[in-house]
């Protein structure tokens, strides 16, 4: 059991037949009235995010999410294939469940496959990836001083905002949680 007063970022729990993960939490003690916990929680299965307040004494069943390292092999239409790095077992996952998570993942990258009660609910790509820029407008000498950005397409097909000095063929590091350019690799 997990008590709302003990919520921390990343805690997963069951509520109303759904599985939720705490994204943000804040313990509030107003001058008048009872204390409460203000949270932003994400439905792990559907991906929907909601804001909700709880009494610090509310109790919920803890949800056990299993995370396995698996290598992304390829996608074949509606299915993406992952291979367990220890047993070499291949696991097909429906693309509709993980399409948004695969934006920065290329073949042979190791990801964490998330499952709840033996049902795959999503994947977690590596936090940082290095990808090649396949298309962007050419940069100009002296464009390094401004904070201006331009769109660039990386090898997975995702679009990222990059500084003006980045050119086609450059390898860049991207934070997969935010989709932001970090640095040239």
Q: Which CATH number covers residue 175?
A: 2.40.50.140
142 and 116 in a common domain: no
Give residue 140's pLDDT. Answer: 64
105 and 144 in a common domain: no
140 and 91 in a common domain: no
Q: Which of 62, 89, 109 is the last residue of a domain?
A: 62
Question: Which residue did the predictor score with more confidence, 140 or 32?
Answer: 32
Nearest to 177 by CA among 76, 27, 6, 42: 42
71 and 120 in a common domain: yes
Give residue 138's pLDDT. Answer: 80
Averaged over 60-82, what is the pLDDT? 90
82 and 32 in a common domain: no
**Residues of the domain holding 55:** 2-62
How many folded domains does the chain comprise?
A: 3
Report how far residue 4's alpha carbon sits from residue 24's, in angstroms, rounded to the nearest whole number.
12
Report how far residue 44's alpha carbon sits from residue 22's, in angstroms, rounded to the nearest whole number.
10
111 and 155 in a common domain: no
Give residue 134's pLDDT. Answer: 93
120 and 101 in a common domain: yes
84 and 56 in a common domain: no
pLDDT digits (tens, 9 = 90+) for 85-106: 889 999 998 887 777 788 899 9
56 and 7 in a common domain: yes
DSSP symbol at 103: T
Q: Which CATH number covers residue 30?
A: 2.30.30.30
pLDDT digits (tens, 9 = 90+) for 143-175: 555 678 889 999 998 999 998 888 889 999 999
Give residue 144's pLDDT. Answer: 59
Residues paired with residue 156 on neighbouring β-strands, in sequence order: none
105 and 53 in a common domain: no
28 and 71 in a common domain: no
Q: Which of 93, 108, 124 is the last residue of a domain?
A: 124
Q: What is the largest CA-CA distance in the chain?
A: 61
Q: Which of 91, 124, 157 is the last residue of a domain?
A: 124
Q: Decide: 162 and 112 in contact? Cβ < 8 Å.
A: no
113 and 164 in a common domain: no
């Amino acid at each position: 059991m997990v008590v709302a007063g003990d919520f921390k970022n990343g805690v997963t729990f069951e509520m109303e037949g759904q599985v939720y993960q705490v994204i943000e939490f804040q313990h509030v003690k107003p001058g008048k009235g009872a204390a409460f916990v203000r949270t932003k929680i994400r439905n792990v299965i559907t991906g929907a995010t909601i804001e909700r307040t709880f009494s610090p004494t509310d109790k919920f069943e803890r949800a056990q999410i299993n995370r396995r390292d698996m290598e992304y092999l390829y996608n074949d239409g509606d299915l993406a294939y992952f291979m367990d790095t220890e047993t070499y077992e291949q696991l097909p996952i429906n693309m509709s469940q993980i399409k948004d998570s695969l934006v920065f993942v290329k073949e042979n990258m190791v990801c964490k496959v998330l499952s709840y009660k033996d049902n795959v609910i999503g994947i977690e790509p590596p936090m940082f990836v290095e990808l090649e820029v396949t298309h962007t407008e050419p940069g100009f000498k002296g464009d390094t001083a401004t904070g201006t950005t331009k769109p660039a397409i990386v090898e997975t097909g995702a679009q990222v905002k990059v500084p003006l000095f980045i050119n086609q063929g450059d390898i860049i590091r991207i934070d997969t949680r935010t989709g932001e350019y970090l640095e040239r690799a």
